[in-house]
Structure 1
Amino acid sequence: MEYTTQMEAARKGVVTREMEIVARKEGMDAEGLRKLMAEGKVVIPANKNHKSLDACGIGQGLRTKINVNLGVSNDCCNVEGELEKARLAVELGADAIMDLSCYGKTEEFRRRLVEMSPAAVGTVPVYDAVGFYEKELREITASEFLGLVEKHARDGVDFMTIHAAINRETAARFKKGERLTDIVSRGGSLLFAWMEMNDQENPFYEYYDEILDICREYDVTISLGDACRPGSVKDATDSSQIQELIVMGELAKRAWEKDVQVMIEGPGHMPLNEIASNMLLEKKLCHGAPFYVLGPLVTDIAPGYDHITAAIGGALAAASGADFLCYVTPAEHLRLPTLDDVKEGIIASRIAAHAADIAKGVPGARRWDDEMSAARRSLDWERMFELALDPEKARRYREESLPQDKSTCTMCGKMCAVRNMNQVMGGNTGGGR
């Protein structure tokens, strides 16, 4: 049976090759996965032109996935350096990589990333506009914005952030508010500025049907961007954020009418006590579509440690229903991340995702922890290193401080509770020798 998108196939009762791959990875029934995709509750971002892709599913009942942001900027335009970060991200288990390049002719990096990456690749076409057309922002036309959406789709991008929900009504509500940090979304701020300078509707909203036609042709998943995401804990859950979320729900239904897959992007910065209710609100207003969150960062005072603030919020968000976490590095709010920053961000995000999967009861999530606990009980150090999220760091820490009794560590030595319990439970009561 013929189909154009993964969602259309799912609705026609077809289990695609990508669905089979995802079902096998998740340890679930392929038919059950197909039904969730038909309902829009799971997406498989899989552009027809991304030939190196190893398909990955995002959504209800699946493992929480993580995304890594990369890309060149005006001050740091090193394509090879960003590709090295991409290779590291794949090696460390990232499920998706977003190219957030915002300077010059970005297509070289984007095309090379798509060519080499088995992880899904995402972009934000509006970032590319000023550099690609070599124009001032206000001079770029609606058709030129749409032309970049088609170009990115043709280049093999699997999902695109489209800030379509900041329409004139949403913008008017934002202007009536009293935000501490205004609009902190780069794409959202660009489109808000374009709308204000030209006194026109957001072209991504006005010509949304044309964007859907492009996405349908290449099977690009739309990630509805949250231009009004809170950039401080004070601004969380305000009227602008909720107004935009309502519009996102409407846009999600319009995408599904054309069999285009959709994710919803969310906050941002948010106090711990508001996270669970925000996840519920998104799922209600956006009809169960997969939810993709940046953090959320649960405090604003930790520059240099925002991978930790984001991991705290991300774990709670995912345990409460979020499906996809965007990593945050220690360099957030400060500079472009280095390789070491990328690693720290990925590890923190993977910890948050896995902790949430245990809480959600995702099949198989606890098995990994149980195996680690069994290795610790046996004082099997090699097995512990094999199971560690970061084996290199775990092994290095142990080798930097070796104990006299090699079965223990230098924290407790012969007073090691595990060692002593093993002896006692094994019938050896000879004084802990």
Structure 2
Amino acid sequence: METNIKFNYPSSEKVYLSGKLYPEIKVGMRKVSLTPTITVEGGERRVEPNDPVYVYDTSGPYSDPNVEIDLEKGLPKLRQSWIDGRKEGETQMYFAKQGVITQEMEYVAIRENMNCEELGIKTHITPAFVCKEIAEGRAVIPANRKHPESEPMIIGTNFLVKINTNIGNSATTSGMQEEVEKAVWSCKWGGDTLMDLSTGNDIHETREWILRNCPVPVGTVPMYQAFEKVNGKAEDLTWEIFRDTLIEQCEQGVDYFTIHCGIRLQNIHLADTRLTGIVSRGGSIISKWCKVHQKESFLYEHFDDIC
């Protein structure tokens, strides 16, 4: 598989900031050179240089000239050594509730602050603050242990706004190479997370290529793949099929999901008078299931099991 995979950002270079709790942590940033400030006083031209600015970088190894990119092998497994030291089931929430600061927590604190500390700018976003926000349910680090290629990032009220991008093949267009290329470009242009909405052929294999070459969290809509498993017949969907699809995707490395659990049988008719009807593909699938079976959806009934 080939694609245009090395990034060159004009007037900037890739730099790494180190952790203090975990010195082995290296957080990638873009160091942007600024033009000098030019003023004229008393007829004399004065040139005042400006220090470079460090900015949040989502491009991962693709912008590091010292890393060789091979899509066949996938990206370096940044978090593998951290994960290997933990037991199955020990998530970021598990550690946060015990007051334990993980490598991921220090990593995102550095990312969110950029180089404020070096500039003498005081900030409240410390690793301890990250830990507290996660423990109290105000923030989340989407980082599946089966996706060690991803660089930790955090989503929450008290952190930087994040941008999610959508890609995905269909039954009529695109293939694996195109989807990987879309994923790579999303990371170049600042997408913080990536949603694979593939509905065409080879969904599992396409997602595998994306996961192994994506430095940001990857999400899916499991309903799309479950729908393909029943040949597009919504009424044939079952909780067991959907559950097994969830497990399959979790084991592959998917970091977050869209689950259409909010569709209620009693509310489906409210879309009848809407100009656009139901615009959600997953919502329309589960609405059809509810109407055929005249009962609440298995997603609603099993939401606690999903969690």
Query: TM-score when scaled to structure 1?
Result: 0.46
Q: 1:34 aligns with which of 131, 145, 150?
A: 131
Shift of residue 77, structure 1, vs aligned partner: 3.5
Secondary structure of 1:192's partner? helix
Shift of residue 83, structure 1, vs aligned partner: 0.9
Secondary structure of 2:137's partner? coil
What aligned pairs does 1:215-294 form with structure 2 within 5 A after superposition?
none
Give the equivalent residue in structure 2 for 1:308: none
The one-character-per-residue Cα deviations of 1:398-430 (angstroms, maximum 9, x if unpaired) are: xxxxxxxxxxxxxxxxxxxxxxxxxxxxxxxxx
Secondary structure of 1:102's partner? coil
Give the equivalent residue in structure 2 for 1:4: 90
Kept in 2, the 8 Å contact 1:105–1:132? The answer is no
Secondary structure of 1:200's partner? coil
Q: 2:279 aligns with which of 184, 205, 208?
A: 184
- The number of residues matched between the two structures is 210
What aligned pairs does 1:271-350 form with structure 2 within 5 A after superposition?
none
Q: 1:71 aligns with which of 161, 164, 168?
A: 168
Give the equivalent residue in structure 2 for 1:44: 141
Kept in 2, the 8 Å contact 1:166–1:188? The answer is yes
Give the equivalent residue in structure 2 for 1:195: 290
Shift of residue 133, structure 1, vs aligned partner: 4.1
Give the equivalent residue in structure 2 for 1:22: 108
CA distance in 2, matches of 1:89, 1:6: 26
Give the equivalent residue in structure 2 for 1:205: 300
CA distance in 2, matches of 1:135, 1:185: 16
Give the equivalent residue in structure 2 for 1:98: 195
Kept in 1, the 8 Å contact 2:196–2:220? The answer is yes
The one-character-per-residue Cα deviations of 1:328-383 (angstroms, maximum 9, x if unpaired) are: xxxxxxxxxxxxxxxxxxxxxxxxxxxxxxxxxxxxxxxxxxxxxxxxxxxxxxxx
Kept in 1, the 8 Å contact 2:107–2:152? The answer is yes
Long gaps (5+) in structure 1: 213-433
Long gaps (5+) in structure 2: 1-85, 114-124
Give the equivalent residue in structure 1 for 2:177: 80
Secondary structure of 2:224's partner? helix
Kept in 2, the 8 Å contact 1:103–1:128? The answer is no
CA distance in 2, matches of 1:68, 1:79: 17
Letter paired with 2:192: D
Secondary structure of 2:163's partner? strand
Give the equivalent residue in structure 2 for 1:128: 225
Kept in 2, the 8 Å contact 1:104–1:132? The answer is no
The CA RMSD measured in Å over matched residues stands at: 1.8
Shift of residue 105, structure 1, vs aligned partner: 3.1
Letter paired with 2:95: A
CA distance in 1, matches of 2:205, 2:283: 25
Kept in 2, the 8 Å contact 1:23–1:30? The answer is yes
Letter paired with 2:107: I
The alpha-carbon distance between structure 1 residues 135 and 68, as it changes in their structure 2 partners (threshold 3 A), is closer
Shift of residue 154, structure 1, vs aligned partner: 0.9
- Structure 1 runs (4+) deviating above 4 angstroms are none
Secondary structure of 1:162's partner? coil
CA distance in 1, matches of 2:235, 2:135: 40
Kept in 2, the 8 Å contact 1:49–1:156? The answer is yes
The one-character-per-residue Cα deviations of 1:293-347 (angstroms, maximum 9, x if unpaired) are: xxxxxxxxxxxxxxxxxxxxxxxxxxxxxxxxxxxxxxxxxxxxxxxxxxxxxxx
Query: TM-score when scaled to structure 2?
Result: 0.65
CA distance in 2, matches of 1:128, 1:138: 15
Give the equivalent residue in structure 2 for 1:167: 264
Percent of pairs with identical residues: 36
Kept in 2, the 8 Å contact 1:105–1:131? The answer is no
Letter paired with 2:301: E
Shift of residue 186, structure 1, vs aligned partner: 1.2
Secondary structure of 1:69's partner? strand
Letter paired with 1:41: R
CA distance in 2, matches of 1:12, 1:66: 30
CA distance in 2, matches of 1:183, 1:7: 35
CA distance in 1, matches of 2:266, 2:98: 37
The structure where helix makes up a greater share of residues is 1
Letter paired with 2:225: D
